[in-house]
């Protein structure tokens, strides 16, 4: 059940609101002029929520990387072969002077995207 309190209660009944949030581990909606304005959580509930969101994001990223990898490569051996080929090409480019330093690259991107 949603816990809803007017904003004046934050000032007048802070200890009560804190106690309720800590006991229930539920969000409390604070209203201003009859509409939702803030959501208050105890620190423990907030940290759990943050951890849950981070876990969901990690799983999502892992799934997306796996899906991309599976579309690109039939096997890990194919991936290693492709990686070795790209490393060899990069080393050859460096030997032949076809490269930019990180400073040059960053300056180019700053100019291209007007980042200053």
Domain ranges of the chain: 3-45, 75-116
pLDDT at 1 over 80: no
Asked whether residue 37 carries a pLDDT value surpassing 90, the answer given is yes
Q: 89: burial class by Cβ within 10 Å (0-12, 13-18, 19+)?
A: exposed
The pLDDT assigned to 35 comes to 95
pLDDT score at 16: 96
116 — pLDDT class (breaks 50, 70, 90)? confident
- Residues paired with 29 in a beta bridge: 4, 39
Instruction: Using pLDDT thresholds of 50, 70 and 90, give the confidence band for residue 2.
Output: confident
57 sits in which H/E element? helix 43-72
Tell me which of 2.30.40.10, 3.40.1620.10, 3.40.630.30, 3.30.420.10 is the CATH number of domain 3-45: 3.40.1620.10
User: The whole model's pTM is what?
Assistant: 0.58
């Amino acid at each position: 059940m949603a816990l809803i309190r007017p904003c004046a209660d934050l000032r007048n009944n802070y200890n009560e609101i804190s106690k309720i949030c800590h006991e229930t581990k539920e969000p409390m909606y604070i209203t201003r002029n009859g509409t939702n304005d803030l959501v208050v959580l105890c620190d423990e509930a907030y940290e759990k929520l943050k951890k849950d969101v981070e876990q969901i994001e990690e799983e999502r990223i892992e799934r997306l990387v796996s899906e991309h990898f599976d579309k690109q490569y039939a096997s890990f051996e194919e991936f290693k072969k492709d990686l070795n080929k790209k490393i060899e090409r990069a080393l050859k480019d460096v030997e032949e002077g076809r490269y930019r330093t990180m400073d040059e690259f960053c300056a180019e991107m700053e100019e291209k995207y007007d980042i200053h």
